[in-house]
């Protein structure tokens, strides 16, 4: 939480009694709030609470049905994004969108080709570099291609594109750190503080409540289209209290209690000696009803490892086994036929078909169950969709709603729900709750528990180490493409996983899998993240214990949650 003075500052942006309706449903219901000059204002709420609608009204994408907006105390009419730009309002959306073959300079100059006058060549790129450093407090080489950037650097380019032209009065950041590791997020935090100190007002929208508490000078909480809390004194505010305000009730334990896994059970799924271009000699096994985490920072090789396990890419060496039978890797069709399912990290691109209704997306992974002699049983599809919508609390609960209109959390429920009842026995989940509010996360975690209770094995890949520690029976940690540790028991907590992932203690030591080839962290020559930031501090110095005959998600992980 910032230590800035609590004295009142002049209001940079005010919204008064805003109303916005869609098909008779109020997305904004008499919303009023004030954003002060030179401060960071946190905006939080569950998916569908009204945050995105408010942002779209402020930016001129939607027109309100009632109420008014004031900038620097004067009423304004924002009829388009161009009007918002002229008023000094900028927005940076969650998705990382970039043309990979353009340089940073070319990306920033799109639509602003003459912003630097007659400068060209190296003189132009130097001027752009200096402008970025001045506005954001970080240095980027604008001659680099976008495809060469880390996710954090791509996000900084997005922010730079929003603020380096004209006078920025209000910057809106929508889930700016959702695709980033904690270390990478520090780059964004530094930029936010630089902007705040320059006098800009920053509206910071995030589901990571710890980030909001660290950065924000004030917080507004939305629920069901209404402002339910507007807090300018954050001295006693906690993450737990914010969660209660968001959902309207105490949430209780976020992570459910998964059943212990009996090591005497036969292995259901195994990866043995799997190697690819960015991962090397990976070996692990999963038993029925077990949740195994695959952790590591961005660039550790975990994303490519999951691609190879699912068959999206062909590994160079190694085998995959299911129930004792070897499966030839390199084919998604073959994986699905053997009961291996995947919910991808980019749910909007490959998790479902955006324009199809919820009902159809829920049926897509198992159309064969609903067809006979090539004819679909639509009554059965509707009945199944209704059951899954109720089971996962998908909102809105109309199965004919186009999936693109759902909030991010409900879209993720659709992506997972399609595999329920499909006969899949191994489920691969990548960053399953990125950008999803705490209420939807609780629903997803409960569903995962129900799947494991029925014997499904789940592999969760991600860099949200709090989530991995709370969900998983065990976690294997990747660094520079190799498994360097297998963590379970009392060592399975966020601090320890972060220490292993970031080498915070200055070594590659950790409790490691005894499998050949995985015990040592080897420098493979691959590039580390572009900029080294302040390492996370951890009071944990003990190595995690090896897997016990019966393992379950660590209680210490649950106690660490904010």
pLDDT in tens, 80-93: 999 999 999 999 98
pTM above 0.75, yes or no: no
Q: Looking at the predicted structure, is the pLDDT value of residue 404 above 80?
A: yes
Structure tokens at 265: 């059970």
Q: What is the pLDDT of residue 210?
A: 86
Cβ-based neighbour number of residue 337 at 10 Å:
10
Q: What mean pLDDT is predicted for residues 391-399?
A: 87
Domain boundaries, the chain: 11-249, 269-502
Q: Which residues contact 405 (CB under 8 A, 6 or more apart)?
A: none
Cα(24)–Cα(27) distance, rounded to whole angstroms?
9
Q: Looking at the predicted structure, is the pLDDT value of residue 6 above 50?
A: no
Angle at the Cα of 127 (from 121 to 133), degrees rounded to 5? 140
Q: What is the pLDDT of residue 531?
A: 29
Q: Which residues contact 427 (CB under 8 A, 6 or more apart)?
A: 341, 342, 343, 419, 451, 456, 457, 458, 459
pLDDT in tens, 222-271: 988 999 999 988 988 988 888 888 878 765 577 888 999 988 889 999 99
Q: What mean pLDDT is predicted for residues 114-136?
A: 84
Judge whether 453 and 259 are in contact, CB under 8 Å. Answer: yes
Q: Looking at the predicted structure, is the pLDDT value of residue 218 above 90?
A: yes
Report how far apart, in Å, the C-alpha atoms of 115 and of each of 111, 119, 122, 146 are: 9, 9, 16, 20
Q: What is the pLDDT of residue 252?
A: 59
Residue 67 — left, alpha, or beta (φ > 0 → left; ψ -120 to 50 → alpha)?
left
Q: Looking at the predicted structure, is the pLDDT value of residue 161 above 50?
A: yes
pLDDT class for 173, splitting at 50, 70, 90?
Answer: very high
Cα(222)–Cα(225) distance, rounded to whole angstroms?
6
DSSP structure class, residue 547: P
Q: What is the pLDDT of residue 559?
A: 41
Q: What is the pLDDT of residue 184?
A: 75
Q: What are phi and psi of 491, to 5 degrees?
A: -75, -5
Judge whether 28 and 54 are in contact, CB under 8 Å. Answer: yes
Q: Looking at the predicted structure, is the pLDDT value of residue 512 above 50?
A: no
Q: What is the pLDDT of residue 562?
A: 39
Q: What is the pLDDT of residue 250?
A: 67
Cβ-based neighbour number of residue 117 at 10 Å:
8
Which stretches of 290-339 are DSSP H helices?
302-310, 332-337
Structure tokens at 261: 């896994």
Mean pLDDT of the chain: 83
Report how far apart, in Å, the C-alpha atoms of 443 and of each of 304, 406, 413, 417, 558 are: 28, 16, 8, 11, 17
Judge whether 174 and 131 are in contact, CB under 8 Å. Answer: no
Bridge partners, 291 (sequence order)? 458
Judge whether 254 and 466 are in contact, CB under 8 Å. Answer: no
pLDDT in tens, 46-104: 777 899 899 999 999 999 999 999 999 999 999 999 999 999 999 998 777 778 889 99
Cα(251)–Cα(233) distance, rounded to whole angstroms?
23
Percentage with pLDDT > 90 across the chain: 46
Bridge partners, 13 (sequence order)? 35, 71
Task: Please tell me which residue, 530 or 461, carries the higher pLDDT value.
Answer: 461
Structure tokens at 70: 């004031």
Q: What mean pLDDT is predicted for residues 182-209?
A: 87
pLDDT class for 42, splitting at 50, 70, 90?
Answer: very high
Cα(175)–Cα(488) distance, rounded to whole angstroms?
31
Question: How are beta strands 40-45 and 218-223 bridged, if at all?
Answer: parallel
Q: What is the pLDDT of residue 556?
A: 46
Q: What is the pLDDT of residue 395?
A: 84
Question: How are beta strands 340-343 and 426-430 bridged, if at all?
Answer: parallel
Q: What mean pLDDT is predicted for residues 310-314?
A: 95
CATH code for the domain defined by 269-502: 3.40.50.300
Percentage with pLDDT > 70 across the chain: 86
Q: What are phi and psi of 429, to 5 degrees?
A: -120, 130
Cα(287)–Cα(308) distance, rounded to whole angstroms?
20
Task: Look at residue 313 and give its three-state secondary structure.
Answer: coil
pLDDT class for 2, splitting at 50, 70, 90?
Answer: very low
Q: What mean pLDDT is predicted for residues 299-307?
A: 91
Judge whether 234 and 1 are in contact, CB under 8 Å. Answer: yes
Q: Looking at the predicted structure, is the pLDDT value of residue 442 above 90?
A: no
Architecture of the domain spanning 11-249:
3-Layer(aba) Sandwich (3.40)
Q: What is the pLDDT of residue 514?
A: 32
């Amino acid at each position: 939480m910032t230590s800035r003075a609590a004295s009142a500052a002049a209001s940079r942006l005010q919204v008064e009694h805003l109303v916005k309706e869609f098909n008779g449903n109020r997305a904004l219901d008499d919303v009023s709030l004030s954003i002060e000059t030179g401060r960071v204002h946190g905006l939080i709420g569950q998916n569908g609470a009204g945050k995105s609608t408010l942002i779209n009204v402020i930016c001129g994408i939607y027109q309100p049905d009632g109420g008014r907006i004031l900038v620097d105390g004067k009423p304004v009419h924002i009829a388009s994004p161009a009007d918002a730009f002229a008023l000094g309002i900028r927005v940076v959306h969650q998705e990382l969108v970039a043309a990979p073959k353009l340089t940073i300079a070319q990306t920033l100059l799109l639509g602003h080709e003459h912003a630097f006058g007659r400068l060209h060549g190296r003189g132009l790129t130097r001027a752009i570099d200096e402008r970025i450093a001045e506005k954001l407090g970080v240095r980027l080489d604008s001659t680099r291609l976008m495809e060469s950037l880390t996710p954090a650097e791509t996000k900084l380019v997005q922010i730079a594109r929003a603020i380096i032209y004209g006078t920025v009065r209000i910057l809106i950041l929508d889930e700016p750190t959702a695709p980033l590791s904690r270390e990478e997020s520090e780059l964004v935090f530094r930029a936010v503080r630089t902007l705040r100190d320059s006098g800009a007002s920053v509206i910071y929208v995030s589901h990571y409540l710890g980030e909001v508490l660290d950065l924000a000078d004030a917080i507004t909480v939305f629920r069901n289209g209404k402002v339910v809390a507007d807090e300018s004194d954050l001295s006693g505010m906690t993450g737990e209290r914010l969660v209660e305000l968001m959902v309207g009730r105490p949430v209780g334990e976020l992570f459910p209690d998964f059943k212990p896994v009996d090591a005497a059970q036969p292995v259901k799924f195994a990866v043995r000696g799997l190697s690819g271009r960015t991962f090397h000699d990976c070996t692990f096994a999963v038993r029925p009803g077990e949740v195994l985490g695959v952790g590591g920072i961005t660039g550790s090789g975990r994303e490519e490892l999951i691609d190879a396990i699912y068959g999206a890419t062909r590994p160079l060496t190694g085998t995959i086994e299911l129930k004792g039978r070897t499966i030839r890797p390199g084919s998604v069709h073959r994986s699905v036929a053997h009961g291996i399912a995947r919910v991808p990290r980019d749910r909007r691109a490959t998790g479902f078909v955006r324009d199809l209704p919820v009902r159809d997306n829920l049926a897509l992974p198992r159309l064969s169950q609903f067809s006979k002699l090539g004819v679909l049983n639509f009554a059965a599809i509707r009945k199944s969709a209704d059951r899954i919508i109720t089971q996962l609390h998908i909102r809105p609960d109309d199965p004919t709603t186009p999936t693109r209109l759902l909030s991010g959390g409900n879209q993720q429920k659709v992506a997972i729900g399609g595999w329920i009842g499909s006969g899949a026995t191994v489920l691969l989940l990548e960053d399953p709750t990125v950008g999803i509010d705490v209420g939807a996360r609780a629903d997803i975690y409960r569903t995962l528990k129900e799947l494991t209770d029925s014997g499904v094995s789940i592999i969760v890949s991600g860099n949200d180490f709090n989530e991995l520690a709370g969900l998983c029976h065990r976690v294997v940690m990747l660094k520079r493409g190799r498994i360097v540790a297998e963590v379970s028991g009392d060592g399975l907590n966020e601090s320890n996983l972060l220490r292993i992932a970031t080498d915070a203690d200055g070594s590659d030591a950790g409790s490691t899998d005894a499998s050949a080839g995985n015990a040592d962290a080897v420098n493979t020559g691959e590039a580390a993240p572009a900029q080294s930031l302040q390492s996370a501090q951890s009071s944990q110095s003990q190595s995690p214990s090896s897997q016990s005959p019966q393992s379950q998600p660590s209680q210490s992980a649950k106690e660490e949650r904010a």
